[in-house]
Structure 1
Amino acid sequence: MKYIVENDYIIGNLGFDPITISPSENKGYRPFELFVSSLVGCSGTILRNILTKRKYAFQKLEIEVSAVRNPDHANRIEQLSFTAYVQSDEPLTSQLEEKISDLVVKNCGMIQSVIQSIDITFTINSVPLNGVL
């Protein structure tokens, strides 16, 4: 990976496409957005893989994230709460939701890299097919 630092943004020349990073959302993706996106990308892929291996048919997966930051310590991320919504014909039991959530956290390398310094929760909610995500 290679990055070029300009005046008010950074361009990362990555394998897929270049990416522009900036503290200004008008000039690129903010570092916080990229950080959270990497955690969602990892955990969402693992969630999909677990459901697929268990032959659990789902129509849609969505993940919402809420964050708590500390403005007194460089706006440090102190807590991230991930809520995954799994839309399918048959809801998961609460025990299975919890078990799969634990597996996602344990097997996501991105989450494991920061779990010592950020309080992270990952919850799964089943949504019926006729329900709205």
Structure 2
Amino acid sequence: MKFQMKEGGFTTDLSYGQLDISGDEAYGFRPFQLLTASIAVCSGGVLRKILEKKRMHVEDIQIDTNVHRNEQEANRIEKVEVHFTIKGKGLSEQQIHKAMELTRKNCSMVQSVIPAIEVVETFEIIPGE
């Protein structure tokens, strides 16, 4: 990836489109947002593949994140909480718990940031139709 300086930040052109990055939301995505999104969506994508391979009927997955930062140390990210709301038929807590363990082991973004950043994954199941 190649980044070019622009007013208020940097930009790069990718095959999907232009990505603007800045410490100021008026000029682009903030770096901590991109890091958090990478962790959450990598986990979500891996989880989705695992559930599909196990032939589990999932209608929807929503991901909520909460970021804990340390203002005394350059506002560094110390913890990212990732909560999955999984909607589907016949899903059990035990099945999803096992899938979450596999997800953590196979998500490259999570594996890249731990142990420097604590990543906590939780889930809830909503019955599907």
- Give the alignment's TM-score, normalised by structure 1: 0.90
Identity of aligned residues (%): 33
Name the residue aligned to 2:24: 24
Q: Determine if contact 2:56/2:91 at 8 Å carries over to the other structure.
A: no
Pairing 1:125–2:124 present: yes
Equivalent residue runs for 1:1-133 within 5 Å: 1-93=1-93, 95-129=94-128
Counterpart Cα distance in 1 of 2:66 and 2:39: 12
Counterpart Cα distance in 2 of 1:87 and 1:60: 5
Q: Residue 105 of structure 1 aligns to a residue in which SS?
A: helix
The amino acid of 1:46's aligned partner reads V
CA deviation digits over 1:30-55, x for unaligned, max 9?
A: 11111111112211110100110010
Q: Determine if contact 2:83/2:121 at 8 Å carries over to the other structure.
A: yes
Counterpart Cα distance in 2 of 1:23 and 1:104: 30
State the shift of 1:58 in Å: 1.2
The amino acid of 2:63's aligned partner reads I
Q: Determine if contact 1:97/1:125 at 8 Å carries over to the other structure.
A: no
The amino acid of 1:91's aligned partner reads L
CA deviation digits over 1:62-102, x for unaligned, max 9?
A: 01111111000001111111111110122322x22221111
* Greater share of strand: 2
Counterpart Cα distance in 1 of 2:125 and 2:71: 34
Counterpart Cα distance in 2 of 1:92 and 1:9: 46
Query: Greater CA deviation, 25-34 or 84-93?
Result: 84-93
